[in-house]
Amino acid sequence: MKRISKSLLLTLNWILLSVGTTILILLTQPIAPVPAQEPPAPTEQTNTPQPENPNDQKLRDALKRSSPSETPPQSTTKAPESAEPPLSPEEIARQQKLIEADKLYLAGQIAEAEKIYREVKTPFTQTSASKERKPAILDPTELSPAGKVYWREAEAGIAKKLQTRTLVPLQLLVEQYPEFVPGHIRYAEVLTQYDRHTEALDILERASSLYPNQPKLTQARVSALAKSKKWMEASLAARQFAILNPNNPQAPEFTQLAEKHLQRYQSYVREEIRGNLISNVITGALGYAVTGSLLGPFSALDSTILLLQGEKSIGESVAKQAKKQLPLVIDDDVLAYVNDIGQKLAKVAGRNEFKYEFFVIPEEELNAFALPGGKIFINAGAIAKTTSEAELAGLVAHELSHVVLSHGFQLVTQGNLISNVTQYLPFGGTIGQLFAMNYSRDMERQADILGTRLIVASGYAADGLRNLMVTLDKQKKYDIPTWLSSHPGGNERVSYLENLISRNSYNRYAYEGVQRHAEIKVKVNKLLKQRKEEEEKKRTTE
CA pair distance 392, 410, nearest whole angstrom: 26
Q: Is residue 38 part of a domain?
A: no
**Range(s) of the domain holding residue 381:** 310-541
Helix, strand, or coil (residue 370): strand
Task: Give me the pLDDT at residue 432, please.
Answer: 40
Task: Give me the pLDDT at residue 274, please.
Answer: 59
Task: Give me the pLDDT at residue 349, please.
Answer: 79
* Structural domains counted in the chain: 1
Q: Is residue 425 part of a domain?
A: yes
Task: Give me the pLDDT at residue 470, please.
Answer: 86
Which positions ≥6 away from 153 have C-beta within 8 Å? 165, 169
CA pair distance 206, 46, nearest whole angstrom: 39
Task: Give me the pLDDT at residue 130, please.
Answer: 36
Q: Which of 511, 439, 497, 499 is nearest to 108 (CA)?
A: 511
Q: Is residue 354 part of a domain?
A: yes
CA pair distance 424, 414, nearest whole angstrom: 12
Q: Is residue 227 part of a domain?
A: no
Q: Is residue 133 part of a domain?
A: no
Q: Is residue 27 part of a domain?
A: no
- Phi and psi at residue 269, in whole multiples of 5°? -65, -40
Strands 375-379 and 368-371: antiparallel
Task: Give me the pLDDT at residue 156, please.
Answer: 96
Each residue's pLDDT tens digit in the chain (542 positions)?
Answer: 555 555 545 445 545 555 555 554 445 554 433 333 333 333 333 334 444 444 445 444 554 454 444 333 343 344 444 456 677 888 889 999 999 999 999 999 999 999 999 999 988 875 433 345 789 999 999 999 999 999 999 999 999 999 999 999 999 999 999 999 999 999 999 999 999 999 999 899 888 878 888 999 999 999 999 999 888 778 878 987 888 888 899 999 999 998 898 888 778 766 765 555 444 444 444 444 444 433 343 344 555 555 566 777 777 877 787 788 788 999 999 999 999 999 999 987 767 788 999 999 999 988 888 888 899 999 999 999 999 999 999 999 999 999 888 887 777 665 333 344 444 433 333 444 444 456 777 888 888 888 998 898 888 999 999 999 887 777 665 444 544 444 555 677 888 899 888 877 789 999 999 999 999 999 999 999 999 998 888 888 86
Q: Is residue 290 part of a domain?
A: no
Q: Is residue 357 part of a domain?
A: yes
